[in-house]
């Protein structure tokens, strides 16, 4: 088929009628599907159900009663498992509650209120800026926006952020204090940073002494089609004595239970000491019973990896539906490009400029709620109004097929409408 | 027996030798007891063990899957139970994670960073002060100290804070922005605020429009000898349209499991809206599985109250040992006064001025770790060096008897040493 932009007005009009009819037919089905967020499906959650009632004892191996107060930074067993899994020294890990987002929020807040390593707290500076690879994760951007931190979008290439641009910026502007990164199976693009990019990130010259990379490894072991491996970020950073530049976040939200998993923050020795020192004012200790549940269920790092294999099997057909449908319906039309992720939770679709909001609106009226257009950009402002995040994990396979059919119709309908002017 | 201050030098010397010998005998026992923190005993925790494996289903009554993302402010069932228990409108309750301390920290932080109801954020003010009834809770004081908020000690009378002093201060000084309160079975004094005091607190004129009372009802249903009842703080506050002055905190840390319970913050409608608005940036939602565990275990507010009766039975003999031993060993000597709490977790002892640190040191060397002297005051500075917090909940009965014997010896030894000059 020809690209739509090559078609004559009358050909486009014909298509428009066809797409409009297909759309109206869909509407009459009265669908009610939600693909707005990257939620695991019940089938995925079922894989962890055993954990709900797994506790026959409530002591750590060294006899500590996890039901009582004590231990700020997590029981030794859970630290060991994550240490093995992520190849991070266990002394450089602090276990949090169920939310790594909350750990990130607290980390930004600490730097904002108290500062770090002798630098002024960010609250006392005229201007603080963050680099934001785009498309990216809306909840990251919300944290920095809430604190009035100026966000600078950075193009995310196939191998990670555009490093020429990043390096030029951070070298010359000491008000750039941080950067949001999702280094593996990025939300929403699925991009995996190359080792070269990561090495540049940990070694680059920064004007700000307290420049921090928020390394949200949310999908660090969430492979679907391919087990991506990358060099360890701390190992790379240690070559340059820059471990403290990295604030590393991870959680089991999409491994066991969202909202009832285990999160962690890891960093260099000095940061960890600094964080503990503030954290001890904030909380006596996070839920150790839940930590022990995770330990008893997984036993070791290998237990987690095997569990992830099972989840990948559940996710795979869903990604296949999305990618197949996009390919079948939109290939060659010149009206959309999309990511081919090897893992993570999303497929990122770029539709014709100025059409993303319209596609999301059409889909919503047709019965499928997508992530808001623009959400993947700072200030919810996608300058091209082009990017849409598809979250295929939650709906059952049959519903997902329907939803993707509708989505493709919406993309085509919005495109012909735009081309018709 | 005569008061020690009435004794002659030689009588005192005789006593000193006697106490020193008793102390040395104790030391040779090689005790290792810890009464530093208000930790529930394993027996208390056992009462909640059933909850660990209680989940046969993971849905709320309206069909929500608690294992997945969603619900910022808590599942309806747990809000209803707390609403019934505490007589607070459920719409004015936000359920937190396992730590009410963390909720308090976040609440202070929000006011510090963002401000409230159109007032300047506290970070932008030259001076911010908090009123701190003393003796009080060290972890409260640590939060305000960490943010550089100046703490003004206020005498805690038998019926609550010295309100003449409080009212005079808040009326004239608009830099006084907050006040820490533990209104029932206060930590460590056991004081229960009278309704008159509470009504003054919620109605008094304050120079600061954004004055906030941090109403930490940590021991709100933690009766031991007597079921204290008080008027509802929000009901009193509503008479003066001051519900938003109160930030009310509660948790099940000392009901079910410390560090794995459920916490809440409650306030007026406007505050709650404001908190949710910030909180949604911080976290997607707290652990709903654990909320459901608590719902299934307690079923309703009455279930919690019955549970508290059982815990009171476990605590009662421990308080009796402490009070009996104090009475037997120290009454009439004029060297110590102590609280007679009807509930809560502590007995507060005032020893001779200048002796608290010495008593704690002696006890430690004798094998019993007490809460640091001074900890019950802002900046850990007890001007009289007199107050000591006794936490009888954790040790088994036999150990507690030993610990109290030693404690009384230490009080007497420190006293005679002081009197001998």
Which residue of A lies nearest to B121 if distances are taken between CA atoms? A123
Instruction: Report the sign of the C-alpha dihedral through residues A321, A323, A324, A329, in that order.
Output: positive
- In the stretch 103-132 of chain A, residues with CB closer than 8 A to chain B read 105, 109, 112-113, 123
CA distances from A353 to A137, A374, A387, B214 (A): 20, 12, 9, 51
Cα–Cα distance, B107 to B99 (Å, whole number): 13
Selected residues 64-103 of chain B with any CB under 8 Å from a CB in chain A? 65-70, 97-99, 101-102
Query: What is the structure's pLDDT at B127?
Result: 98
Specify the CATH number of the domain B59-299. 3.40.640.10
Candidates B151, B155, B154, B229; CA nearest to B185 is: B229
A5 in reach of chain B (CB within 8 A) = no
The C-alpha angle B230, B235, B239, rounded to 5 degrees, equals: 125
In terms of CATH architecture, what is A4-44+305-420? Answer: Alpha-Beta Complex (3.90)
DSSP B359: H
Q: What distance in Å separates the CA atoms of residue A178 and residue A193, rounded to the nearest whole number?
A: 17
Distance CA B278, CA B239 (A): 28
CATH hierarchy code of domain A58-300 = 3.40.640.10
Q: What is the pLDDT of residues A253-296, one digit of tens each?
A: 999 999 899 999 999 999 999 999 999 999 999 999 999 999 99
Read off the pLDDT of residues B206-216 as tens digits, 9 standing for 90 and up. 999 999 999 99
ipTM greater than 0.95: yes
**A345, A223 Cβ separation under 8 angstroms:** no
Of B123, B257, B290, the CB nearest to A123: B123
Element (H, E) at B155: strand B150-157
Of A58, A102, A259, the CB nearest to B69: A259
Residues in A touching B40 (Cβ below 8 Å):
68
Q: A161 near A197, Cβ under 8 Å?
A: yes
The secondary structure of residue B39, as a DSSP letter, is P
**Rg of the Cα trace of chain A?**
23
* Helix residue spans in A147-242 (DSSP H): 163-172, 195-203, 233-239
Task: Give pLDDT tens digits for B259-278.
Answer: 899 999 999 999 999 999 99
pLDDT of B69 over the 80 cut: yes
| DSSP state, residue B6 | G
Mean pLDDT over each residue of chain A, to the nearest integer: 97
Bond from prior residue into B215 cis (ω within 30 degrees of 0): no
3-state secondary structure at position A103: helix
Mean pLDDT of A151-164: 98
Backbone angles phi, psi at B367, to 5 degrees: 110, 5
Over 90: is that where the pLDDT of A136 sits?
Answer: yes
Chain centre to alpha carbon of residue A68: 34
What residue spans define the domains of chain B?
Answer: 4-44+305-420, 59-299
Q: Residue A381 is encoded by which pair of tokens?
A: 């402002």
Q: Is B366 on the interface with A (CB under 8 A)?
A: no
Confirm if A96 and A288 have CB atoms less than 8 A apart: no
State CA B41 to chain mean position distance. Answer: 17
**pLDDT for the residue B206:** 98
Q: Strand pairing of B150-157 and B347-351?
A: unpaired
Chain A residue numbers with beta carbons less than 8 Å from the beta carbon of B68 are 39-40, 42, 45, 257-259
A-facing residues of B in 143-182 (CB < 8 A) are 143, 146-147
A49 contact residues in B (CB cutoff 8 A) = 58
Residue of A49, A69, A98 lying closest to B259 (CB–CB): A69
**Chain A closest-CA separation from residue B74 CA (Å):** 11
* Residue B358 and residue B417 in contact, taking contact as beta carbons nearer than 8 Å: yes
d(CA B38, CA B17): 34
Q: What is the CA radius of gyration of chain B?
A: 23
Task: Output the six-digit token pair for B404.
Answer: 């109290």
Specify the pLDDT at position B37: 87
Give the distance from CA A120 to its chain's centroid.
30
Q: Which of A332-346, B26-40, B225-239, B323-337 has the weakest average pLDDT? A: B26-40
CB B78 within 8 A of CB B289: no
Determine the pLDDT at residue B2: 86
Contact A266, A248 (CB under 8 A): yes
Q: What is the mean pLDDT of residues A87-106?
A: 98
Please give the Cα distance from A146 to A131 (Å, whole number). 15
Task: Identify the residue whose tokens are 């120290």.
Answer: B330
Q: How confident is the model at residue A37 (pLDDT cuts 50, 70, 90)?
A: confident
């Amino acid at each position: 088929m020809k690209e739509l932009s090559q078609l004559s007005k009358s050909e486009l009009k014909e298509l428009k009628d066809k797409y409009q009819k297909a759309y109206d037919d869909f509407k009459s089905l009265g669908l009610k599907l939600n693909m707005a967020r990257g939620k695991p499906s019940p089938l995925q959650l079922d894989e962890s159900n055993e954990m709900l009632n797994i506790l026959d004892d409530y002591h750590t191996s060294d006899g500590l009663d996890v039901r009582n107060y004590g231990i700020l930074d997590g029981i030794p067993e859970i630290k060991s498992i994550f240490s093995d899994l992520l190849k991070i020294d266990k002394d450089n890990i602090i276990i949090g509650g169920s939310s790594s987002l909350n750990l990130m929020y607290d980390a930004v807040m600490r730097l904002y209120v108290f500062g770090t390593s002798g630098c002024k707290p960010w609250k006392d500076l005229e201007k603080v800026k963050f680099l934001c690879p785009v498309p990216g994760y809306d909840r990251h951007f919300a944290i920095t926006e809430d604190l009035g931190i100026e966000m600078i979008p950075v193009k995310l290439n196939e191998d990670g952020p555009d490093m020429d641009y990043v390096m030029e910026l951070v070298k010359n502007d000491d008000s750039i204090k941080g950067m949001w990164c999702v280094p593996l199976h990025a939300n929403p693009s699925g991009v995996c940073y190359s080792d070269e990019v990561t090495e540049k990130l940990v070694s680059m010259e920064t004007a700000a002494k307290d420049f921090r990379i928020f390394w949200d490894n949310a999908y660090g072991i969430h492979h679907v089609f391919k087990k991506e491996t990358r060099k360890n970020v701390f190992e790379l950073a240690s070559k340059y004595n820059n471990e403290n530049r990295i604030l590393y976040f991870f959680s089991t939200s999409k491994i066991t239970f969202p909202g009832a998993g285990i999160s962690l923050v890891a960093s260099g020795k000095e940061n960890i000491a600094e964080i503990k020192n503030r954290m001890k004012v904030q909380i006596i200790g996070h839920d150790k019973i839940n930590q022990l549940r995770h330990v008893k269920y997984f036993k070791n790092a290998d237990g987690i990896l095997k569990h992830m294999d099972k989840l990948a099997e559940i996710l795979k057909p869903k990604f296949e539906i999305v990618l197949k449908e996009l390919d079948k319906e939109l290939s060659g039309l010149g009206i959309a490009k999309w990511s081919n992720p090897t893992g993570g939770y999303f497929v990122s679709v770029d539709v014709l400029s100025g059409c993303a909001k319209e596609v999301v609106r059409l889909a919503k009226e047709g019965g499928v709620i997508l992530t808001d257009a623009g959400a993947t950009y700072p200030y919810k402002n996608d300058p091209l109004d082009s990017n849409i995040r598809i979250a295929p994990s939650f709906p059952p396979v049959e519903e997902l097929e329907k939803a993707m059919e509708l989505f493709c119709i919406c993309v085509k309908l919005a495109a012909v409408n735009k081309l018709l002017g």
